[in-house]
Amino acid sequence: MKNRIRVLRAEKNWSQAELAEKVGVSRNSINAIENDKFEPSLPLAFRIADAFAARIEEVFLRD
């Protein structure tokens, strides 16, 4: 699963730490998800999408 977290963060001008705080996880966790090293659970994926006010399929893409 790919994701557009880096692009969406850049659009909002948010750091990984800022996104992590909004979503309620650590900065390292956001880094792992953003770099495709970890696939988040559905609830966490929804929380990330909600933080960007986007639909989940706009943030996470199929391979």
Partner 1 sequence: MTSKQRQILLGAPLAIVPVVFLSVAPWLKSAVGGTVTTWVAAAVSAFVMFYAWYVALSMQRRLDEVQRAGADYAAKWGVTAGQIAFFVLLALPPFQNLVGELVNQPRGKVLLGMTIGAVGVVLLQAIGTVVAHLLWWRARR
Contacting residues toward partner 1, per CB under 8 A? 24-26, 28-29, 32-33, 38, 40-41, 44
CA-to-CA distance for 17 and 24, rounded, in angstroms?
10
Gap between the Cα atoms of 34 and 59, Å rounded: 10
CB of 15 to partner 1, least distance (A): 17
The nearer residue to partner 1, 44 or 54, going by C-beta atoms, is: 44
Nearer to partner 1, 37 or 62 (CB): 37
Least distance from C-beta 18 to partner 1, angstroms? 16
CA torsion 37-30-13-50 (nearest 10°) is: 110
